[in-house]
Amino acid sequence: MTRQYRITLLPGDGIGPEILAVTVDILKLIGTQLDIDFQFQEALIGGSAIDETGKPLPKETLQMCRNSDAVLLAAIGGYKWDNLPREQRPETGLLAIRAGLNLFANLRPATILPQLIDASSLKPEIVEGVDIMVVRELTGGIYFGEPKGIFETETGEKRGVNTMAYRESEIDRIAKVAFETAQKRSGKLCSVDKANVLDVSQLWRDRVTSMAEKYPDVELSHLYVDNAAMQLVREPKQFDTIVTGNLFGDILSDAAAMLTGSIGMLPSASLGLEKPGLFEPVHGSAPDIAGQDKANPLAQVLSAAMMLRYGLNEAKAATRLEKAVLEALAQGYRTGDIMSQGMKSVGCKAMGEVLLRILES
């Protein structure tokens, strides 16, 4: 029987529209092959939304997302909007959609593909076999804590303030996702905090520790975030699942991404307790190469695979997509960011065509 899904597409800014177009063509093909009827609807977010409506997340966009089975986002942001007041910046739209859909759990896998081992800036023996899942809390912490703002003090000097805060319930629900994720992987979970200095981190550590009793099959460890950053580049293979707060997760997931050679390869899934989840590449909108057909669409394609697996429960389609990506790399096709000697250099569209050809064969 045909399964029907309504998917909201958010192309956003920069390279966003290019990489999403490639991905949609691929989803359409997989749909016809596996009897899945994707109904795509497109909406505005980020800078393009600011240009058209004055707001980075128009109400209609949020409404459309809420009425869909999954949201596939490309990327937002660009120089053009960098100096606007904060409520009119593209990033504010991204934070608002995460909060608006209650997407508190952000899964960011960093897996080394054997085909790309030479693309890493670290030695092959350090990165070979790395397979890390960063579980980042996404709707709390210093990104959302109050008070925040730039305030004038009595002397007239300005003071910038953000607040890192977590409630027990916020820690518990992300820890639950992390323990369950670790259970499905190798059973190792490392919680990252700054409990040697921050009270909010002490509470984080206490809650995560007390939850460990419920998961006797998971081996829990703790690291301070500075040490975790160091360990990630020193000996990344010691990690399996990492759980951490919003800001630390932002930083560590970029570092973990780079182990794999290019941030242009990494997908992510943002999940709440209910549908829809939001699926987006970890990389940004790369305004410097926008519109030039140079972007690597694979993180977007792999985000669609995460959408199929985690958002729509279509594991078979997800695997098919992931295999096609591996096959394209095995056949030597590379975009600029992962290019190495002897490989076949392709642009964004051509990479999409390679994937279509592989899927059709």
What residues act catalytically? 143, 194, 226, 250, 254
Yes or no: say if 74 and 281 are a contact pair by the CB < 8 Å rule.
yes
| Nearest CB to ligand IPM, comparing residues 94 and 211 | 94
On whether the CB atoms of residues 166 and 200 are closer than 8 A, the answer is yes
- Asked if 250 is part of the footprint of ligand IPM (rule: CB under 6 A), the reply reads yes
Give the C-alpha separation, 11 to 20, whole Å. Answer: 6
The one of Mg ion, ligand IPM, none whose footprint includes residue 193, by CB under 5 to 8 A per kind, is none
Residue choice 15, 45, 94, 174 for contact with ligand IPM (CB under 6 A): 94
Binds 94, which of ligand IPM, Mg ion, none (CB < 5 to 8 A, cut-off by type)?
ligand IPM
d(C-alpha 242, C-alpha 249), whole Å: 9
Best CA proximity match to 276, nearest among 303, 311, 248: 311
Residue nearest to ligand IPM (CB): 91
Smallest separation (angstroms) from ligand IPM to the CB of 109? 14
Q: Which is nearer to ligand IPM, 69 or 250 (CB)?
A: 250
Site for Mg ion contains 280 (CB under 5 A): no
Identity of the residue, 25 or 91, whose beta carbon is nearer to ligand IPM in the bound complex: 91
**CA–CA distance, 279 with 138 (Å, rounded to integer):** 13
Dist CA 128 CA 112 (whole Å): 7
Shortest approach of ligand IPM to residue 91 CB, angstroms?
4
What's the DSSP call for residue 308? I
Report which DSSP code applies to 28: H
Q: Is 221 helix (H, G, I), strand (E, B) or coil?
A: strand
Smallest distance from the beta carbon of 89 to ligand IPM, in angstroms? 9
Binding residue for ligand IPM (CB under 6 A) from 3, 80, 88, 91? 91
Closest residue to Mg ion: CB criterion: 250
User: CB of 16 within 8 A of CB of 285?
Assistant: yes
At 276 the three-state DSSP class reads coil
Partner from ligand IPM, Mg ion, none contacting 322, C-beta within 5 to 8 A by type: none
**Which of residues 62 and 218 has its CB atom nearest to ligand IPM in the complex?**
62
Task: Kindly report whether the peptide bond that precedes residue 276 is cis, defined as omega within 30 degrees of 0.
Answer: yes
Window of 15-23, 147-155, 199-207, 248-256 that interacts with Mg ion by CB under 5 A: 248-256
Q: Is 250 in the site for Mg ion (CB under 5 A)?
A: yes
Check residue 255 for interaction with ligand IPM (CB under 6 A): no
Q: Does 170 bind Mg ion (CB under 5 A)?
A: no
The CA-atom distances, in angstroms, between 7 and each of 40, 201, 234 are 5, 37, 40
Q: Give the three-state DSSP class for 355.
A: helix
User: Closest separation between CB of residue 331 and ligand IPM, Å?
Assistant: 31
Could you give the CA distance from residue 282 to residue 142 in angstroms, rounded to a whole number?
Answer: 20
CA distance 114 to 118: 9
Residues in touch with Mg ion (CB under 5 A): 250
Residues in touch with ligand IPM (CB under 6 A): 91, 94, 250
